[in-house]
Amino acid sequence: MRVAITQDNITSGGRLAVILEMIEVLNDQDIIPNIICFKMHLTPKEIEKKYAKSLQFQTITLKPNVFKKLPEFNKLWFNLLSRKYISQYDLFIDSNNTSFLMSGKKTVLSMIYGPRIDRVLKKDSIHKTDTNKFTLKTRIGQKIDKFIASPIYTFHKIHENNLFYTISDFSRQAIIRRYGIEQEAIKIIYQPVDIDAFNPNQEKNDWVATIGRFSPAKNQLEQIKIAKKVPDLIFHIMGFTDVNSNYYQKCEDYISKHRISNVILHPNINYKSMIDILECSKYFLHTIWNEPFGITAVQGIAAGCVPNVPNCGGQTEVVPIDRLRFDSFEESIAIFKNLIKENLAEINLTLLKHIELFNIVRFKENFQLILRDYISD
């Protein structure tokens, strides 16, 4: 059986975690998939080192990648280039959030985290991102990108060959709103977390852990402002970045200017060190609005942290305890001040039981069922 997985750019993050688990399931069935992309940012050796996985796959790099400064239009360009490959495979898995412009003649299994078309056609980002934090060059580029991609999307139609899978009910409802598809036709397969790889019983410090690529969309600057109002806790902010980037420098400058002593930035921290910090922290902070799932919050819970997350997006499914979710950053500060006074044992127990829904074992079982259903057809 020939299988391809497509995504324009593949780098570290929750989406790569899904792709790697798919590859592992395929390898267990003696299938070596092809990864079709513009760029794979990690080599197999780097994947093995970071994720402790030795996987077999081959990479096909599409060219020309001439629109990389226009990410929305670039995805459509990528789909157009990938058309010629679809007929060569028995199973074509799209991880790009849109299969628009791919062939309508061959079945495409679409893993939708959130309909890409929503980002293009909606005036404002669902993530409540303050675009003023981006550079002027970036803001201009975004406007040009949407200006080019928007009229193309007006021709978008869903073909019968599209099979939809998604990572949360939040994302499923977004697909229904956009395309009018019946709920039963969209299956949920939660992102995988290797829960057993974490030790939730490690001795805890009065620490708050956060994970995310340093970016205005991830709101690390807001995390620092929250930390300033909760001086009894030490905030460990971890994530990939170019330490010379404007946003990372803004974070450092804000800490320095306001003499904030309870924030430690960990740029480009390795995986083992990240896990060590998670396991030694009492709390986990997540600050992305309307994220389709939020795999890092599950990792935090698996490590024994009590989460403090937005009351929206997939976080309402990840964190079932209402009082641990906030509607504003001011509410997040209040949550921390209340939690400091509490015994966290019962909360931890409830959350650890709940996140079994997202266990890597369950993901593999669900993906095997998808393959079995597809192959049987």
pTM, rounded to two decimals: 0.84
In 10 A of CB 147, how many CB atoms?
13
* Average pLDDT value for residue range 361-371: 89
Burial of 285 (0-12, 13-18, 19+ CB in 10 A): buried
Q: How confident is the model over 140-153, as pLDDT tens digits?
A: 888 898 888 999 98
> Is residue 132 within 8 Å of residue 278, measured between CB atoms?
no
Q: Which residues contact 307 (CB under 8 A, 6 or more apart)?
A: 283, 284, 285, 286, 297, 300, 301, 318, 319, 324, 351
- The answer to whether the CB of 268 falls within 8 A of the CB of 242 is no
* Cα separations in angstroms, 122 against 118, 151, 180, 366: 6, 13, 17, 32
Residue 319 binned pLDDT confidence (cut-offs 50, 70, 90): very high
End-to-end CA distance of the chain: 13
Q: Sorting pLDDT into bands at 50, 70 and 90, what band is 359?
A: very high
For 176-204, how does the pLDDT look when each residue is reduced to its tens digit (9 = 90+)? Answer: 998 888 898 898 999 899 999 999 999 99
How do residues 80-120 score in pLDDT, each as one tens digit? 999 889 889 988 999 988 888 887 677 888 888 888 888 88
Question: Per-residue pLDDT tens for 259-298?
Answer: 999 999 999 998 889 999 999 999 999 999 999 888 899 9
pLDDT in tens, 51-69: 888 999 999 999 999 998 8
Residue written as token pair 């280039």: 81
Sign of the torsion formed by the C-alpha atoms of 241, 142, 79 and 217: positive
Give the pLDDT band (50/70/90) at residue 372: confident
Q: What is the pLDDT of residue 158?
A: 80
Return the bridge partners of 5, or none. Answer: 35, 93
Checking if the pLDDT of 377 tops 70, the result is no
pLDDT category, 128, cuts 50, 70, 90?
A: low
Percent of the chain with pLDDT over 90: 60
What distance in Å separates the CA atoms of residue 18 and residue 360, rounded to the nearest whole number? Answer: 10
pLDDT band at 124 (very low <50, low <70, confident <90, very high): low
Residue 203 CB coordination number (10 Å): 7
8 Å CB contact between 167 and 189: yes
Q: Could you tell me the domains of the chain? A: 3-192+360-376 (3.40.50.2000), 195-358 (3.40.50.2000)
Average pLDDT value over all residues in the chain: 90
216: preceding bond cis by omega (within 30 degrees): no
Burial class (CB within 10 angstroms; exposed 0-12, middle 13-18, buried 19+) of 116:
buried
Q: Counting Cβ atoms within 10 Å, is residue 141 exposed (0-12), middle (13-18) or buried (19+)?
A: middle
Residue at 11: amino acid letter: T
